[in-house]
């Protein structure tokens, strides 16, 4: 099942990682087909932020996106007394029927 291949926290929330873009799009359609939600949240950080935007644009081409909210930020990690900042993006998407 595709859902086990993709990190998920809550219903409708998908964390973007190293899987191919098409797997995330398929996972979103699976969530929508279940009927539990019409709202999808994509979470990404670092190099995967551009993939999250690609997924949003693919969805806009395939479904009617009622609204999309994009929030950006920075997460700071500390490892061995060195601080590293990583860009983050959260995209909330509401799909029309």
Q: What percent of the chain has pLDDT over 90?
A: 47
User: Residue 45: which of 92, 91, 93, 89 has the closest Cα?
Assistant: 89
Q: Rounded mean pLDDT of 35-51? A: 89
61-96 pLDDT tens trace: 988 888 788 999 999 988 888 999 999 999 999 888
pLDDT tops 50 at residue 6: no
Separation CA 14–CA 43 (nearest Å):
6
HSE, side-chain direction, 13 A CA sphere, residue 9: 9
The pTM of the full predicted model, rounded to 2 decimals, is 0.80
| Domain architecture of the chain: domains with CATH | 2-95 (3.30.110.20)
Please count the other Cβ atoms lying within 10 Å of the Cβ belonging to residue 72. Answer: 10
Nearby residues of 18 by Cβ (< 8 Å), 6 or more positions away: 48
pLDDT band for position 2 (50/70/90)?
very low
- Output the pLDDT for position 31: 82
């Amino acid at each position: 099942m595709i859902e086990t291949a993709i990190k998920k926290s809550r219903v409708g929330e998908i964390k973007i990682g190293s899987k191919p873009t098409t797997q995330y799009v398929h996972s979103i359609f699976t969530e929508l087909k279940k009927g539990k939600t019409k709202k999808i949240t994509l979470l990404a950080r670092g190099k995967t932020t551009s993939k999250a935007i690609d997924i949003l644009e693919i969805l806009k081409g395939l479904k009617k996106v009622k609204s999309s909210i994009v929030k950006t930020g920075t997460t700071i990690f500390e490892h061995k007394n060195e601080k590293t900042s990583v860009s983050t993006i959260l995209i909330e998407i509401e799909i029309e029927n």
